[in-house]
Structure 1
Amino acid sequence: MRRSAVVRRFASLGVALALAVGTLVPIAHAQTSGKTLVLGFTQEPDTFVAGEGNEYVTQVVDNLVYSQLVVIDDQMRPIADLAVDVPTLDNGDAVMVGDGADQHLETTFHLRQDAKFSDGTPFTAEDVVFSWKLTLNPLWSASAGNDLESKYSDVVAKDPHTVVFKMMSESQAKAAGQSDQKGPVVHPFYLYGLPDVFIYPSKRMNPLVDFDPQNSAKLKDLLSGVYSRQPIGTGPYTLDGWDAGVQMTFHARNDYFRGKPAIDTIIVRGFEAAKETLISQLQAGDIQTIGTETLDVSDVDAINAIPGAKAYVRAGTTIEHIDLNQENAILGDKQVRKAIAFALDRNDLVNRTLSGQSAVADSLVPPISPLFNPDTPKYGFNPDQAKSILDSDGWTPGSDGIRVKNGQRLSLKYQSTGSALRKKVMPLVKDQLAAVGIEVNIDQLPAQAYFGINGPLRAGSLEMAEYADVGSQDAGTDAVQKYASRFIPTAANSFAGGNYTRWKNPTADAVINQESTSLVPSARQSAMAQLQLLMADELPTIPLFFRPNVSAASNRIANFKPEFASNGYTWNVWEWDLR
């Protein structure tokens, strides 16, 4: 899987910064009373620096202590968090201002007046401005994958409870070096403000960066200290203690803006524990949840057999697929790509590798997305059709059954990582393609080598390459980096693009541009519908199936709603309760 956040671990807490924020209550002395919930994980959070965490458990605990302006729910719908409501073009909180090359989008967020940080400091618009400026500091390595923060020309605190985000105009974008910008800069995530950034307490942190968060060299010291172990946020819980390698303890805040959560204490533990240990603890009632980083579909039956427990399977936005290099002499032929699509029995892949606990993907846009086109053509398993296409295209079976054309064997390199899932999937794909006369040679690489700058994806040496994309809440935003020709990895863009298929299609570029430069839902839906039809015909990539997220929870937990995206199943922890 690819993640947009930059992954980095930070050092332990420095003494000076520890004094600045106070001391932690040691685990051994932390007192618990009232309702207590225990979350089981095989991983330990790596940091509390927002956007830096490399582990799913980090997102889970971040949700306990932090808040954002707008978040997404379990159905990937935006809901107001620190904002009073979600700003949109329809409700008038997002408007175009100015004329000509100076026209730009301004989005106004009305902020809650009852929110406070866990140190008692009131939350204000200045905290939002401060948090935005932090992300612009070159030392801030928690860079957002969608790069929205850099598209703002300014973020202004209009008053303590109103903040205005101003996106760049065409003239401002060109002045910033974006010479090809046409019209005002827009982004579909405008309604989130800072979608990848938690809100930090400016009164506490500003002095630590010399009141210049955008440029201060002291930001590096700040990141390596205060927030890696002692977060101060506006979320529903406060961290009491972190006994490394053992557990973390959080207590509910009486002054949380939605009201004190019903569960008084949350403990996160089990770090480095085996999956079997956590399942036994769930059965014994010692823990009440197991996270998605631990479980897979093979565990569903065992979980559901535990009295009072349930396995939750969510198809999610993560799609396993095979990219086909359009610059390859064989795969550049669309008929070969279509034959491959018809030769694959993707239902069999789901049944044999995921115990039937998922769904075949017919598009790189998940059905839960409002941008999904239900009329996208489907390639059902039809080996006879695959053979007919290859026959018509001049590929004839050789003595060993592998097809040949003009002296060239229909033989392809098939690469991926050596993950447990792919060790199951790739041999099945090999056999299915061999049945129609296509030879594939499996090559499994370490993840770092596979996804690295010199790896087959970015260097362009791939032929068939399987991996999973972790989609965001907006498939249109994902499509820009995946399928626009300008994002083919090259030395010119430091091999940073995500169009590994090397697909160059003027029509695709046009509809992607149409989708990415509009904020009108119907226009974006129309453009994405066209893109999905085009991709189904061109087949630069073949969707296989959705990678399911599997979590487990005790039936005692009320309002447990595991997510489809990767926003952490504690996204609504403030409304949880224990029955």
Structure 2
Amino acid sequence: MKHKRLLATAAVVAAGALVFSGCTPPRESEIVKGSSITVADTDQYFAFNDGLADTNSAWNANINYLTKSGWYYYDGTPELQKREGFGTYEKLSDDPLKVKWTVNEGVKWADGAQVDAADMLLGWASGTTHRQDGEGTVDEESGELTGQTGTFWNTGAQEGYGFDLVSEVPEISDDGRSVTLTYDSPYVDWELASPLAPVSAHGTVELAYPDEYPENNADAAKKAKDALIKAVQDNDLEFLAPVSQVFNQGYKFSKSVKVAEGDPQPLELLGFGAYNIVEVNLDEGYTTLKANPLDTWDEPTQFETITVRAIADIADQITAIQNKEIQIAAGQPTSDITSTLTAGVPGVEFAGAPQGTYEHIDLQVGNGGPFDPATYGGDAEKALKVRQAFLKTIPRQEILDKLVIPNQPDAVLRNSQIFIPGTEGAKAAEEVNGYAELTEPDIEGAKKLLAEAGVTGPVTVRFLSSLRQARVDTYNLWEKYATEAGFVLQQLPDDQRQTWSTVVFNNPTAYDATLFAWVSESLAVGESAANYQGVEGPSGTDGAGANNPYGWYSQDLNDVFDKLSGEFDPAAQQDLQVEAEKLIGEQAWSVPLYQWPGIVVWSDAVEGVKPGFLSPNYFWNYWEWKPVGSSTATPAS
């Protein structure tokens, strides 16, 4: 399982950049009538709103990418590409930083309502702390968010960062299709800080107040939009509380959903992209989408129907291609898979490609466990030594040699939390963060640190990862070294491992260490801030970065990321990022392992498949997929 970085926002742009826009006339459909394709992802889709702290998985993002458009996307290079048919954005001034966002007339939600300023105000309100006064409540056993007090959006908004730098309500244009954001201070990643909410404003309000909107029609949509705008402008938190609850709870699927042929799209599935979701089948593990007949602003698509099947293992995905059950697969290959594909498989094509995804191990430091100072009477130095000792037991080079090198002979250990291996920044970070010294297990060094900390007897560490084979193999390679040093790795039960993302982000008291992968969404300068910015308090305290459920907190590190968010000089940016690396390494909170070797495999009945470096990976150019001749697949049913 891969977890994407929630607050990934932007590529670096020149301070003088202005408008990227233009209008394109409606285009004719290029759909191949009756065509269909089935593709694979590693897990089951479960949330239409993937902009939340507990729904931001890569597979939610991949499917939602098919259903929602926007001002831009990253191609496979990756380079930022503008989508001029959708709208425009323009930087009006540098001091203060003002940015105007406009949606073209005719860009509509699936029910025919215009995408407009109401949807952008919802995006702003949910992405700041300025329209929030409550908090979430979590089931202690399952770790699931079950309720809330007051207005709570669950987006991981951080005080004084990102959209929170826009403290005044965005200004709405006379035609209602533009908003202008005025930042309190410079923000380097402004270009990809899109204000558009991932769900419709009118649909969310109608779901929050069903008695006031008994009919889902144009009049109801307008009334709901107006009510949302007024509430945001007036800071009416009483009105916004149920809206925020629908926003963070109403777009998750706890049971299967199917839209009957000819029925209108339900409010919970209103998109504004190339495809509409018509079925989410949790029992059989697939999601089916059909081309959106209203879409005239996106790139013209070829397939009428796309079905995404959940198949965890890449070997099983490839078998499904050979059996003509699916047409595209992707994942982390094993040496056997690489050898088989290289030798040639009839009817199957493939491309190896690096991914913007890296494996890492994180430690809990605010849950009362072995790495928390509270366990030692508040002795931070003792807890630090225990963390340092634990990280010394990880056989990072052996893991790379046995799990990655057979598939990617030139792979190297990733020794940076922020920079991709081989870059100048990675080289500079490696000199200060200490990860290069954690290559081979140092059992004696680990024992010495535990002795210095005065810790005797085995230290039990509850370990959480998914059931993915690479994670199982990593654990098996590591366990003996941890045991030898005086640690007992205790795997969590399979039911928690199957839903590990929920456990990681909502139930921090259930585990002490976790292994998973971060997936980059963009080339944002400040992308890593959400992982490491924190607040004082136990794990899960509100106000920490969206990707920091661990209790990590360093005011010095917070200050570095705050400076970085307003720094436009590339050299100064790198210096700040390297400084952040040093501070992160000194805390022994986490250690990176390796950059994922990626592979995309597809049937020769399909053309146009291209790997993507960033999320959404190979889905990035879905409009270029097209059937070869009449060889298409039938969706799961």
Tell me the TM-score normalized by structure 2: 0.63
In the TM superposition, what is the alpha-carbon distance from 1:320 to its structure 2 partner?
Answer: 1.4
2:399 pairs with 1:349: yes
**8 Å Cα contact 2:50-2:60 kept in structure 1:** no
Q: How does 1:124-163 map to 2 (within 5 A)?
A: 124=116, 128-129=120-121, 132=124, 143-146=154-157, 148=162, 151-152=165-166, 153-158=168-173, 160=175, 163=178
2:413 pairs with 1:360: yes
- Cα 1:165–1:524 change in 2 (3 A) is farther
* Counterpart among 448, 455, 462 of residue 509 in structure 2: 455
Q: Which residue of 2 aligns with 1:211?
A: 226
2:485 pairs with 1:438: yes
2:595 pairs with 1:546: yes
Q: Which residue of 2 aligns with 1:33?
A: 33
The separation in 1 between residues aligned to 2:389 and 2:280, in whole angstroms, is 55
Corresponding letter in the other structure for 1:109? W
Q: Which residue of 1 aligns with 2:272?
A: 234
Corresponding letter in the other structure for 1:158? S
Q: Which residue of 2 aligns with 1:63?
A: 65
In the TM superposition, what is the alpha-carbon distance from 1:364 to its structure 2 partner?
Answer: 0.9
Q: How does 1:200-279 map to 2 (within 5 A)?
A: 206-207=221-222, 209=224, 211-213=226-228, 214=231, 215=239, 219=243, 223=250, 231-239=269-277, 245=284, 248-251=288-291, 253=293, 256-261=296-301, 263-268=302-307, 270=309, 278-279=317-318
- Cα 1:370–1:73 change in 2 (3 A) is farther
2:98 pairs with 1:106: yes
**8 Å Cα contact 1:209-1:217 kept in structure 2:** no
In the TM superposition, what is the alpha-carbon distance from 1:442 to its structure 2 partner?
Answer: 0.7
What are the superposed Cα offsets for residues 439-493 of structure 1, whole Å, 9 maximum, x if unpaired? 2211222346665445166xxxx4x654544555367545434434536536864
What are the superposed Cα offsets for residues 310-341 of structure 1, whole Å, 9 maximum, x if unpaired? 26554423431243847366974878877766
SS in 1 for 2:171: strand
The separation in 2 between residues aligned to 1:537 and 1:273, in whole angstroms, is 36
The separation in 1 between residues aligned to 2:241 and 2:440, in whole angstroms, is 61
* Counterpart among 578, 581, 586 of residue 532 in structure 1: 581
Q: Which residue of 1 aligns with 2:462?
A: 415
In the TM superposition, what is the alpha-carbon distance from 1:250 to its structure 2 partner?
Answer: 1.3
What are the superposed Cα offsets for residues 82-109 of structure 1, whole Å, 9 maximum, x if unpaired? 687885xxxx715344xxxxxx432123
**8 Å Cα contact 2:126-2:155 kept in structure 1:** no
Q: Share of identical aligned residues, percent?
A: 15
SS in 1 for 2:563: helix
The separation in 2 between residues aligned to 1:500 and 1:119, in whole angstroms, is 37
**8 Å Cα contact 1:511-1:527 kept in structure 2:** yes
In the TM superposition, what is the alpha-carbon distance from 1:425 to its structure 2 partner?
Answer: 2.0
* Counterpart among 278, 286, 309 of residue 349 in structure 2: 309
- Cα 1:411–1:498 change in 2 (3 A) is farther
SS in 1 for 2:221: helix
Q: How does 1:313-324 map to 2 (within 5 A)?
A: 314-323=354-363
- Cα 1:83–1:297 change in 2 (3 A) is farther
Corresponding letter in the other structure for 1:144? T
**8 Å Cα contact 1:32-1:265 kept in structure 2:** yes
**8 Å Cα contact 1:489-1:498 kept in structure 2:** no
**8 Å Cα contact 1:489-1:496 kept in structure 2:** no
Q: How does 1:416-565 map to 2 (within 5 A)?
A: 416-417=463-464, 419-420=466-467, 421-432=470-481, 438-445=485-492, 446=496, 447=500, 452-453=506-507, 455=509, 462=512, 466-473=515-522, 477-484=526-533, 486=535, 489=538, 493=542, 507-536=556-585, 539-547=588-596, 551-555=600-604, 557-565=606-614
- Cα 1:411–1:66 change in 2 (3 A) is same
- Cα 1:155–1:73 change in 2 (3 A) is farther
In the TM superposition, what is the alpha-carbon distance from 1:247 to its structure 2 partner?
Answer: 5.9
In the TM superposition, what is the alpha-carbon distance from 1:372 to its structure 2 partner?
Answer: 4.2
2:209 pairs with 1:192: no
In the TM superposition, what is the alpha-carbon distance from 1:527 to its structure 2 partner?
Answer: 0.8
Question: Structure 1, unaligned stretches of length 5 or more?
Answer: 7-30, 98-103, 170-183, 397-402
In the TM superposition, what is the alpha-carbon distance from 1:413 to its structure 2 partner?
Answer: 3.5
- Cα 1:46–1:70 change in 2 (3 A) is same
**8 Å Cα contact 1:404-1:410 kept in structure 2:** no
The separation in 1 between residues aligned to 2:310 and 2:586, in whole angstroms, is 47
SS in 2 for 1:193: coil
What are the superposed Cα offsets for residues 112-132 of structure 1, whole Å, 9 maximum, x if unpaired? 457455556665556544665
The separation in 1 between residues aligned to 2:418 and 2:516, in whole angstroms, is 16
Q: How does 1:5-44 map to 2 (within 5 A)?
A: 33=33, 35-40=35-40, 44=44
**8 Å Cα contact 2:5-2:520 kept in structure 1:** no
SS in 2 for 1:317: strand
In the TM superposition, what is the alpha-carbon distance from 1:268 to its structure 2 partner?
Answer: 0.2
The separation in 1 between residues aligned to 2:355 and 2:592, in whole angstroms, is 14
Corresponding letter in the other structure for 1:193? S
Q: Which residue of 1 aligns with 2:436?
A: 379
What are the superposed Cα offsets for residues 241-299 of structure 1, whole Å, 9 maximum, x if unpaired? 677857624136585224532x142330546899776533411444211355xx76477
What are the superposed Cα offsets for residues 471-518 of structure 1, whole Å, 9 maximum, x if unpaired? 553675454344345365368648888657766656434423311344
Equivalent pairs, count: 511
The separation in 2 between residues aligned to 1:150 and 1:474, in whole angstroms, is 21
The separation in 2 between residues aligned to 1:191 and 1:274, in whole angstroms, is 33
The separation in 1 between residues aligned to 2:287 and 2:539, in whole angstroms, is 44
Tell me the TM-score normalized by structure 1: 0.68
Corresponding letter in the other structure for 1:526? D
SS in 2 for 1:376: helix
Corresponding letter in the other structure for 1:379? A
- Cα 1:251–1:168 change in 2 (3 A) is closer
The higher-RCO structure (CA 8 Å, 6+ apart) is 2
The separation in 2 between residues aligned to 1:133 and 1:465, in whole angstroms, is 32
**8 Å Cα contact 1:236-1:252 kept in structure 2:** yes
The separation in 1 between residues aligned to 2:181 and 2:298, in whole angstroms, is 29
Q: CA RMSD in A?
A: 4.9
**8 Å Cα contact 2:415-2:426 kept in structure 1:** no
SS in 1 for 2:195: coil
- Cα 1:474–1:167 change in 2 (3 A) is farther
Q: Which residue of 1 aligns with 2:235?
A: none
